[in-house]
Amino acid sequence: MRDSFDVTTIIFAILAVFVVWKLRSVLGQRTGAERPPGEALRRDRTPGARPSEPANEDGKVVRLPGAARGEAPRPARDSDPDRWKPFVEAGSAVAAGLDAIAARDASFDLRGFVEGAKAAYEMIVVAFAAGDRKTLRPLLANDVYDSFAAAIAQREKDGHKVDTTFVSIDKAQVEDAQLRGATAQVTMRMQSKLITATRDRAGEVIDGSPDKVVDTVDVWTFARDVSSRDPNWRLIATEAGQ
């Protein structure tokens, strides 16, 4: 029995190390509902908003995959009109925005960015529901973090608890991309499925359902200072999706 227990423990330990490594390769090595953030904390997008200061050595971040894995940057192919497919239509305003970002940052990899944004989206939604400020802090710009933290504090004051199960991200679409000065901004439309229920102090469900899968649409904007050596991207704005 003891040997069996030890072997099982070792297997789970190896799996845990693998999962952490995979997350860090996407989100960065600088470790780094009531309703989920997209519904409970709607904010107007602020096109000129700048990202917050770089995370400390223990902060989770959204970073470009090449930098996270120590790979050489993949140069942008300016002559390829379809280089942003299948995410963005060639010749569109969004493609032009991505061209501008890539011109300032040759390591920009849209496919890797989208995967990182999806991972960050799930992490933020789950952390918000759990009231996990430590996880949220390095992933959010200062003003966004303040809004999330205020909602968590109010929930705690009211004695409410949110149970959220993240089911899936059905679609992640690049909706906008801009270079504003030295700040790259990419806006993602996330279509996801969640199971979420808010309970009062007595444990009674007062919002949502612990059994029902709900379709959710959120529009989130991530930003990064491309003039900086810091590769971190942070959430700078959220709004309701249609």
Domain segments of the chain: what residues? 2-240
Query: Can you give the C-alpha Rg of the chain in angstroms?
Result: 19
- pLDDT confidence band for 232 (50 / 70 / 90): confident
Q: Which tokens hold the place of 177?
A: 């991309």
Please compute the mean of the pLDDT values over residues 177-197 and round it to a whole number: 97
Residue 26 pLDDT > 60: no
The set of residues, in sequence order, having a beta carbon less than 8 Å from that of 238 and lying 6+ positions away, is 37, 38, 41, 42, 43, 45, 144, 218, 219, 220, 221
Mean pLDDT score of the chain, rounded to an integer?
A: 78
Answer with the residue of higher pLDDT: 117 or 22.
117
- pLDDT confidence band for 79 (50 / 70 / 90): low
What is the architecture of the domain spanning 2-240? Roll (3.10)
Nearest alpha carbon to residue 192 among 120, 133, 144: 120
Q: How far apart are CA 14 and CA 16, in angstroms?
A: 5
Q: Which residue in this structure is represented by tokens 């904007």? A: 221
Q: Which residue in this structure is represented by tokens 């059905």? A: 170
199: β partners: 161, 205
pLDDT tens profile 27-65 = 333 333 434 454 444 434 433 444 343 344 444 444 433
Q: How far apart are CA 51 and CA 42, in angstroms?
A: 18
Model pTM? 0.71
Q: What is the DSSP string of 161-228?
A: EEEEEEEEEEEEEEEEEEEETTEEEEEEEEEEEEEEEEE-TTS-EEEEEEEEEEEEEEEEEEEEETTS
The set of residues, in sequence order, having a beta carbon less than 8 Å from that of 61 and lying 6+ positions away, is 27, 28, 30, 32, 55, 138, 139, 231, 232, 233, 234
How many C-beta neighbours within 10 Å does residue 217 have?
A: 15
Q: How far apart are CA 163 and CA 179, in angstroms?
A: 38
Helices (H), the chain: 2-27, 37-40, 65-69, 93-104, 110-130, 133-136, 142-158
